[in-house]
Structure 1
Amino acid sequence: MADFNTTDFTNPSTFIILGIPGLEEAYVWISIPFCAMYAIAILGNVTILFIVKIERSLHEPMYYFLCMLAITDLVLSTSTLPKMLSIFWFNAREIDFNACLTQMYFIHCFSAMESGIFVAMALDRYVAICHPLRHSTILTNPMVAKIGLAVILRSSILTLPYPFLVRQWPYCRTNIIPHSYCDHIAIVKLACADIRVSSYYGLFVVISVWLDVLFITMSYTQILRAIFRLPTKDARLKTFGTCSSHLCAILAFYIPQFFYSFTLRFGQNVPRYFLIHIANVYLLVPPVLHPIIYGMRTKQIRDKLLQLFTHTGT
């Protein structure tokens, strides 16, 4: 493998992804939980899609949004895990320049898409709890399709400038990415040019996506107000139970992302391998946890799973 660390070039044909610098000796051991997480993410999200497809009682807006979330998780995990595992197992660190840009686009696009889906799910819970009699007339199948299309278009257009900005910079110092995947900031830091445009646009995308948290918070403020107005404790607990899986999924997605963003900007003395681990966690853990959360906490899905297993057992 060629060492491009000191070679002058402006349009590299390949990048070199280091993986997790400083932990090379432990790659085989690190790969075990990563491989297990990938298998669980694939199996869990495919199971969610299969159950919703075959169970007609689940053909409702909440479960349509859940299917969108499952597809997004499948794309996110598949965009990152196979390359990571090839680095850990075979030391296959080279990645084509265009393939790196494609991976970068998919990671940021589908992360933004996942955030948008959580907003759509919060809207569904808001209508279901605050306006239950109008839920079926507001969130019709065409409306759900329009919301899904809006989420896809927003994330696709919002992250589209990333590869074009990265492509325009000259890379005359190095093409070695000290990361485990092609992250936008990790790539543009390699450029020997004024990258403020990329930095400012990246900050704009982050702020745009984090506005979703504001919309989700506003929705759940109204939801909690409606729940506390219910006359009995049992009614309040039952109604809140319909939101619990969604809240757990939101926390599983946003908390690692917030921790990574906070540590990246203010943790100057944090070891690089720790930052990379946090970056991996916020991309890899949600696709694993989401099907487990919804499978365990959503009665309809749990009952269908038990029915399938008992039917297979007999």
Structure 2
Amino acid sequence: MVACGGCGTKNFIPSDLPPFQTTPCNKCGHPVMIAVRMRQFELRGVIASGGMGTVFRSWDTMLHREVAVKLMKPELASDPQQVEQFAREARACAGLNHTNIIHIYTFDQHENYKYLVMELADCGTLDGRIEKEGRVEELYVLDVGIRIASALDTALKHNLLHLDIKPGNILFNSEGEPKLVDFGLAQAAEAERKPDDGIFGTPYYIAPERIRDQREDFRSDMYSLAGTLYHALTGRVPFEAPSINEVAMAHVNQPLVPPNEIVTDVSDQTNAAIVCAMSKNPDERYMSYQDFGMALEASRSYLLVKKYRPGY
């Protein structure tokens, strides 16, 4: 019998179920599987799957702690370029010590499987919260924004740009702490993009200068973070269009509809901070993550006073 990681229901699983193959929980439909041992790690259940691989809730039998193991898809493991991108995430995070950046413990290989072992954050994503709630409460959005801006500032001090900030890359642990993940596209802040590098990242939050194939800097990540907060505040992505290419070009050509024109109760302070950070011209955005964080913190403080000291 195997307990479901989603609801805890115990499920009977046939003993001949192949390794890593899942079957839906009898009660909630969450994928369950027979535990698989890889070195000291016991992979017990699927947390999420993506283009690069699958993340498993796992148990470290040596250190007696829960971890997450991200297993690269076998069909990608024979591609050196894909393996390099997978390894880049481990290297990028290895030197970063921040509460709101997921901690990477090791990058290794077992038989034909390449995998990352990292801190467990299995209580959903900001993307999932938006999907569930439609729009997220403003104070909560500000708190997430302040913490992730601080995380990005730490990455910048280590000369790293993330380049794929989006709601799906902000996870939450059991204490509700937001964790920035997926540094697979990260690059050195001074790196020059080659003409054939193409545009990577998520078009719904991508900065205009990246579409124009101009050199990006930390303000490109800031734009994407602000776009992520915009989506959480309003329940809508900053720009919508019939195709991905049209969405991308909208960041360049279309004026941004301010958040408080979509949701009228968004505070003026939060509205101004998001609009500034999403300026088309990087020079018109905040000149540091500290400045952006301070603007979000000022709005948060105002809302807290308004909430707990009405009439003040």
The structure that is helix-richer by fraction is: 1
TM-score (norm 2): 0.30
Q: Could you say which structure has the greater relative contact order, defined with CA pairs below 8 angstroms and 6 or more residues apart?
A: 1
The structure that is strand-richer by fraction is: 2
